[in-house]
Structure 1
Amino acid sequence: MKRFALFALFVLVAAVLTSCGLYNSKMASDPADVETVAVVEDAATEQAEETAEPVVAATEEVVEEAKPAEPQIFEPGSFESPDRCKNCHRDIYNDWKESMHAHAWTEKWYQQDFMMAHHETDGATDLLCGACHAPIAARTGQLPPADGSMFDETAKRGISCDFCHTVTGLDQMYNMGHVSEPGNEKKGPRGDGRSLYHGVKFNENHTKADFCGSCHMVIHPANGTHIIDTWQDWKTNWYGEQNITCQDCHMTPTPGVQETPGRAALLGKWRDNMPYHGFVGASSYVQDAMGNKKQAEMAREYLKSAAEMKLAETVAGDGNLALTVEVHNVGAGHKIPTGTTYIRIMWLEVIVTDATGKVVYSSGLVDEKNHVDPDAVFFRVQFRDADGNLTGKSWRAQGIGYDRRIPAKGMDSETYQIALPAKGEYQVSTRLMYRSFTQATLDEAAERTGEEYPPVESVEMAAAQTRVVF
């Protein structure tokens, strides 16, 4: 396999991110550059910050090793188009083509953020982000330029068949450390199949969470901030200890560890379990917007299987209701939310009504402009930039400013102090809600790019109700 001189460019990323205009005073003060999410929906109040996890020294050994591996480069055309694969692997192809992996480069929600980072960092983030979203382009020298003008048709297809099935190993467990060997021999989790077109070889990497984790673990190259920590989170929790892998849950079309029988190829062996290549996650909004209704509904099923809520309440003699809302992570093999948690939000909605149905207390409601109550209790991550402000822009991160998420098999709780106005019976309704983006993020993106984005949806992940009497 060939190595190439882009190693110097990856080293340059670290230098540019700390020295370019990204961290100058204009970046924090110019409204055109500041993310409006911080104003509208971050809700990183003093109380929330007191309960948030501190800046993570994360796993010091990982941060200490957060240096770029020597990248690889191959000739354009070294990787095959997924259209070639669909001739035999039709079912797998049809599942994959509507996955987030297939649209990892082309979907406009990613592109607007990617280009914003490109402009703010003079291109320093092109390969940091693009290596995972357009791995074939990165491995064939077609990225940069960031606009994709040099991409061939295969490079535009995101994370496609031939990239994954020509991986032979991992150089590092972050920032896309996969080792590629494109060619006629295709690697996979079994190796006992036969093909008249290509060779078939077992590769243990395809059976491990590490295969996924090398992209689902992103570390800021300049300061070691964990931008995405899904793999490390999994590795150090109960699921990782039990070796319940990413593939076990996310390569099945239903929540949890399931088996789906089928064939990998038209004339292939019948398998008791055929991994689902739709790679279901939590992206119901994007899937809906792209017209993939089936995938959107599966994403909502995953969200609804992740959490449960429990309530405890006491009413004092003066009518003060102390309502404790517990959120339990019962179904996710990682913290919720995870992944790009700095653009996602999960929050508590609480409504108390009297016997006539009149609302006497609320928190976490959505207003007429589709923005979430900024005083709601939020579960998410926000970075802290060079000026100490919270931001959802990962390239501006100097550290973690706010981190309140619910660990796998763990729980978090919030106690609300609510003054009941009069004697009587009250209905208490609570919900755990989720959004793939804040509405403010989409509003800002639409204004900046001229693109139209459907209003972001709220997904109910869990709910609980109770009645109280004063």
Structure 2
Amino acid sequence: MKPTFRLSAALLAALLLVLAGAAMAASPVFDVDRTFYPYYPSLIKWDKSTIPFNAPEVCGSCHPQQFKEWNGSVHSLAFKDPVYQGELNKGVKAVGHDIARQCEGCHSPIGVVTGAVKGPGLANLPATALNGVSCDVCHSVSGVTHWQTPSHEPENGSFILSPGVEDPNNGQTLIKRGPFKPSEECGGGFHECRESSLHLRADLCASCHQVYHYEAHFPLEATYLEWKHGPYAQQAILCQDCHMVDIATFKRSADTFRKPERQEYRHVFNGANYLLSYLAAGAAKKNGEEELAANLMKQYEMEVERLKAAAALELSPVYRGGRLVELKVRVKNIRAGHNLPTSLTNVRQMWLELTAKDETGTVIMSSGTINPDGSLPENSRLFNSDGMGNDFHFSVDPWVITAFSRHDTIPPRGYKDVYFGVAAPAAAKKIVVTAKLRFRQAEQHVAEELLKAVPKDIDLEQLYGLRAVPPLPVVDMAVQETTIATSL
């Protein structure tokens, strides 16, 4: 009997090990509750009811200043953006609309939950869907589900939309939330006002400024985490303190860690997407909307100025044996509360252009000068990322990228040093070195491919006057020139 008992125990132990191993193998790294997230891979939740969402113009009738600030912001253009529409169209063709809905959830939240947005394109959409991240999106957010997401971090629109409540006795009540205690007359009888501490936290922005791969949950964009893991979070300087203010206030917040006063906040949501603002300004002017065009150009100018305020350069020589052998360029992130660059870092380009000339003006060394076809030379020193898919091959498509093979960005208040070898002519006693930190929102051929891929109902020539994709505008974020002796 004893041998049988021992054999049974051994078999039972082996069976338990097999079952445990199978359970472990079957357990996914990222669990997805599709009942909890009915719009997956968008992680929006909606307290579904017959309470209507309102177009921004409705809000603007009582809040004209806030409407004017928002109108022309990147939030207002989030869904209309032709680069986004081209990317969305490519994504739908590659992996289907169900997956591409992840993008739509942040670019047109109301369009997704109401079912108005059914794919790429702008035709036959209501204003609530067309206007992207509108007043009624942010002010209907009642909470976030960051911990419940598959990654247990903010990602892909992990917020809750609650535009109001229904009561069988009292009917519908619209509810709008904001960061401050409302006055008694707030809402003017049209909606109820509620104070929301969430609107005073970066968690509100985190929901959409953390973009993860729809299946692998790899962070393609990690702007919120870059902020959270940096010094600005430690000093309680939030997204709103830099992106909802004018440039002077932004610089003050970044330099002194002093929060803006209540009256200094604006609904401009100003960032670095100057290309979108510039294109939209041209379209507004072409359409005879002069006030909107002026507002968009103001946004464009702020975005360019913001980029120019974000970074600084330091140039210094390196000597060996008394002769100049290298140039050290220190690239400093002096004001961005997140990494430079941020967002879709495998597409955005920030790089160093360096030129050295002798006393006669002859170029003896150069790096990072744009080629005639818009590409960068292979030796260019870039600060961005290279994406790769499951096969570990390079890719720029967000539905493919599940890791970075290279991730080289500069953290808040951080720096990176770059060394350039230089061989000055023996007769030269000094050289003049010019360093530029340059930025554009994509490589030329990438932008051309995306704009060629826009849906058929978006006529680039009719809307923007574009018969061909022009050279992408480049912003010089920082420029430093110095004269350096070739020997000690």
Normalised TM-score (structure 2): 0.77
Selected match of 1:413 from 413, 417, 426:
417
1:129 and 1:249 mapped to 2: Cα distance? 25
Are the equivalent residues in 2 in contact too, given 1:217–1:231 (CA < 8 A)? yes
Equivalent in the alignment of 2:217: 224
Q: 1:208 aligns with which of 201, 209, 219?
A: 201
Q: Is the 8 A contact 2:140 2:176 kept in 1?
A: yes
Contact 2:44 2:160 (8 Å CA) reproduced:
no
Structure 2 residue aligned with 1:435: 440
Does the Cα contact within 8 Å between 1:348 and 1:433 map onto a contact in 2?
Answer: yes
Please give the alpha-carbon distance, in whole angstroms, between the structure 1 residues aligned to 2:76 and 2:44.
26
State how 1:108-127 maps to structure 2 within 5 Å.
108-127=82-101
> Kindly tell me: are residues 176 and 445 of structure 1, through their superposed partners in 2, closer, same or farther at Cα, counting changes over 3 Å?
closer
Q: Aligned-pair distance for 1:115? A: 0.8
Which of 445, 449, 465 is residue 444 of structure 1 equivalent to? 449
Out of 455, 459, 470, the position equivalent to 2:475 is: 459
Pairs within 5 Å for 1:121-160: 121-147=95-121, 151-160=125-134
Provide the aligned C-alpha RMSD in A. 2.4
The alignment partner of 1:154 has SS state of helix
Instruction: Indicate the residue corresponding to 2:377 in structure 1.
Output: 373
What's the counterpart of residue 79 of structure 1?
53
* Deviation by residue 1:370-401 (Cα, 9 ceiling, x = unmatched): 32223200001221123322222111112111
Instruction: Say if 2:351 is the partner of 1:347.
Output: yes
Provide the C-alpha distance between the structure 2 equivalents of 1:318 and 1:100, rounded to a whole number of angstroms.
53
Could you say if the C-alpha distance between residues 125 and 159 of structure 1 is closer, same or farther in structure 2, counting changes exceeding 3 Å?
same
User: Given that residues 47 and 161 in structure 2 are in contact (C-alpha distance below 8 angstroms), is that contact kept between their aligned partners in structure 1?
Assistant: no
Query: Structure 1: how far apart are the matches of 2:210 and 2:345?
Result: 12
Q: Secondary structure at the match of 1:110?
A: helix
Shift of 1:350: 0.4
CA–CA separation in structure 1 for the residues paired with 2:61 and 2:410: 43
Q: CA deviation at 1:319?
A: 5.5
Match of 1:234 in 2: 227
Q: Distance in 2 between matches of 1:437 and 1:463?
A: 21
CA shift, 1:369, in A, is 2.4
Conserved in 1, the CA contact under 8 Å of 2:214 and 2:399? Answer: no
Q: Which runs of 5+ in 2 are unaligned?
A: 1-32, 147-153, 165-173, 254-260, 282-295, 461-465
Aligned to 1:61: none
Please tell me whether the aligned partners of residues 39 and 113 of structure 2 are also in contact (alpha carbons under 8 angstroms).
no
Tell me the alpha carbon deviations over residues 82-141 of structure 1, each in whole angstroms, 9 at most, x when there is no partner.
010111111111111110100100111110001101110022432211100000111212
Match of residue 92, structure 1, among 66, 69, 73: 66
**Distance in structure 2 (CA, Å) of the matches to 1:8 and 1:192:** 33
Which structure ranks higher in relative contact order (CA pairs < 8 Å, sequence separation ≥ 6)?
1
> 2:176, 2:37 → 1: CA distance?
27
1:262 corresponds in structure 2 to none
What letter matches 2:362 in structure 1?
Answer: K
What is the identity percentage for the equivalent residue pairs of Structure 1 and Structure 2? 28
User: Does residue 1:179 correspond to 2:160, yes or no?
Assistant: yes
Q: Secondary structure at the match of 2:422?
A: strand
The amino acid of 2:187's aligned partner reads: S
User: Are 1:307 and 1:328, in contact at CA under 8 Å, matched by a contact in 2?
Assistant: yes
Secondary structure of 1:84's counterpart equals helix
Per the TM alignment, residue 212 of structure 1 is displaced from its structure 2 partner at its CA by 0.4
- Gap change, CA 1:447 and 1:161, over 3 Å in 2: closer
Q: Secondary structure at the match of 2:84?
A: helix
Q: How big is each residue's C-alpha offset from its partner over 1:326-353, in whole Å with a ceiling of 9 and x where there is no partner?
A: 0111101011001122221100010001
Check whether the contact 2:213–2:220 (CA below 8 A) recurs between aligned residues. yes
CA contact (8 A) 2:85 2:121 kept: no
Distance 1:69 1:393, change over 3 A: closer
